[in-house]
A and B are shown apart, each in its own frame.
Chain A
Amino acid sequence: MHRTEGTYHNGNLFTDGPPGTIVEQNWANAMQEEVCNVIESAGVTLKTASTETRDQLLTALQALFLQKTGAIGKNAIINGDFRINQRSPGIVYTSANLSGTATPGNNDDVYILDRWILLSEGADIVDVSQSTEAPTGGLFSCALDVETINKKFGIFQPIEQKNCMHMVGDTVSLSFYAKVSDITKLDNIKAVVLSWDGVADTITSDIVSAWGVEDTTPTWVANWTVEHTPSNLGVTASWVKYTIPNISIDTADTKNIGVFIWSDGFCDTLGTFLYITGIQLEPGVVSSEYEWRNITDELALCQRYYCKSYDQNVAPGSADEDGECFFATDAVALADHLVEIPAYFPVVMVGVPSIVLYSPATGLSGKVLMAAGDVVGVASKIGDNKISKISGTNGAASVSRIMAAHYTASIEL
């Protein structure tokens, strides 16, 4: 669509025969502006007469209202607004738990808030938390708090092949909201969409080969290819939506797609924050409004990769009985005994996950609670929908048989 040089005007077009319907200039201008408004409100720049393609209204409608055929919800990013934080609800990912098992530390290449990986130029570069700083209408953001000066850091999400193949060979658009606590300290935020052409879903999650010097885009490990040239987005101290439209996913044999948002500049002051939220990767040449999923759906999407038996607001490794896997019987022979119980996952996971067991009594990992107290727990015959056996041997004679255990199950890409 393009606008005429000026406005329409009356002419003497109907001089012979009965007069035709008069096309008023106001009507023609109204028609033109109605269409142009739809196109422009979708973020599409109008063409000129020489570049006219006559498909911009369709593009705009797709961006505003429609989802492309085969799309699984328009946003391929899971937990783009950071409402889900199963690993560490209410707890900051810090160096204090670098070697911890229940709450991950702020190491390089570790999963933090659900589906997001922290990538940084070493360990303890930034603390990470689920922050209530959010744009109007939002709830949370991912807060990255500088802990080591003059190092680069960012967050990365790889997308499972089954959830991104509809975008391969096509065009996508990335959008997100961001702000910094001090624009003089964090002054170069970049974002990029990458394609993985290695074995599907067997990605290298630490995508950075070399971080490079300040303000120079890092180099990437083998099999990851950037699909556009990232540039400084000029993030400010206020919430702004940043868009990178019209990205062609054209790397041959792409199996997975990933999104990486990072600070490419150095920050020389501890306690400086970068906040990110509302991340969306969608098919199409323009970015549309953030897809606000129902929380039940969002949680289920996350649980495909990580789930736990603890309540959502309880951190794994807590001494907490609610939701525990439990079995008990009484008045049986006084004896040492073995107890084995199953535990079902809330959703079918992407593959067979790794399991950590916890005692609900003490929160200790590797333990389950039995009649005599905490004993070593073993998880075996693990499937993508359940742990068939959580086993423990009570090494002291008892007339009751008890087993209580919590678990976390993880099969992240």
Chain B
Amino acid sequence: MQQLTWKVGGAQGEGIDSTGEILGTILNKMGYYTFAYRHFMSLIKGGHTNYKIRVSNQPVYYHGDQTDILIAFDQRTIDENKAELHQDSLVIYDSKFEPKRLEQFSSCGIPMSKIAEQLGNVIIKNMVAIGVTAAVLNLDPQLFYDMVEARFGSKGEKVVSMNKSAIQQGYDYYREQCEERHYNLPADKASEIPMLISGNEAAGFGALAGGCRFLAAYPITPATEIMYWLISHLPEYGGKVVQAEDEIAACLMAIGANYTGVRAMTSTSGPGFSLMQEAIGLAGIAEVPLVIVDVQRAGPATGMPTKTEQSDYNEMLYGSHGEIPRIVLVPATISECFYYMAEAFNLAEKYQCVVLVASDLFLGMSKQSVPKFDYNSIKVKRSGLISDSELATLEPGQFKRYALTDSGISPRSIPGQKNGTYVALSNEHDELGREEAEDPYNRVSQMQKRFRKLANFSPDEWGAKYYGPDQPDLLLIGCGSTYAQISEARVQLEQAGKKVAHLHLHILQPFPAAAVRPRIEAAGKCLVFDNNYTGQLRMLLQQEVGFHNKYETHNRYDGNPFTVSEIIARANEVLQ
């Protein structure tokens, strides 16, 4: 694999993200595969933020352990990212400061702030950095000009030309003043220009493609971008978005909307998801379809809002009092954020239950060059809706919304349909939707009916995927966004002659036990990767398929995604 990694860092408010966005977009447009990761803090100005891009000739799902080119606007950027540098790395720093602790690395000072100030505004030092980057990568600075016009055109010709000059001067300065050092971009490119999209954007797009026409949500990092996406797209396709007063209201508005036959959802992260728990139970007993995406962040409580974690699995699996059937989907890649969100709406409608989509900050806020989404893979499958003509054959008041059917799935009317009136209710009820708490037979039959609904849903087909030899010495097990690093580590371990396989879970509930059990049984040892402290995935495996003593673990809960090297190191430790 040919690859190159680039990172820019500085204080928040210095245009770090837009620097990365511009470069990533250009590289993607050139046909390279990129992966971009944002490191940021929960403040608006100051602190430290960085934006990293890995570029390759094949799809990459992770930003890489190392950094080849580091552009530092301040000393903190050097200190915080030094560990990623290697002997061939290059550090380019703003010569407004005298860099420390850089001795063993090649470096080059460029007066980025000064050039920007001379052009009229220090803020455009990030465009100087773009010009420098173009010089280091042997790219024509003209490549960036269209983008400057698209981004700044509305601010007038003066702003556009200032930004162009910044790029050109950065480019010229590097070529004239710095030691001629260049990095090559990969020689091969994608056959078709990929899409550069974040997991959150992909989730929003997937929802729209899956037929969603209503979102109610409350702003929360790292899920808000899903809301942004749907606010800017749903109205165009006949949908609406409400920013609710809190997540309790958001979830209940989505339930109300679903009740009218619209495909509706809410998006949130941990703290908001906790507030939705009672409403999730309501959707469960009232049998209203509901899709929730939880872009997990490091908890508990406010925790670390800008850091990643996979610690809401237990809440998704068991949250809400009482017992309800539910589906928990866990996309592992940015493309899967799209396809799983779309499918979530089909499942929610088919089974008239809650479908939870477990994303996380790493997946949601990173951007990846992905193959174009496939229109033909998305099908909006309406189901379970009773027709007007069927209702017309019934006696008034005799529509059994909660009819005890073999499948457990009962036909659903929607408000406006004649002869279809019923009450959706949070109380236990009979087939007609009348409150019924005294008849134990009714309770048992309604409980069984609700849980029967998922009996025909088999998670085994796509709920667990397996890569590698059949009888491995070591089986790496993960779920969700850890796919990227585990799969890279597995390939490297394989190249090193190790007999290592990878089992990845994509559905946690209903649990794909039939697909998982034989794989664990066949493996010499198992190593479970949990981006949380308590080992929620490992505990689920123990509960669902047993083999209690077979699991070695590796947990990370410092707010960062796993690195490939730590996975390899841990795997080798277990293999010894």
Chain A partners chain B: no
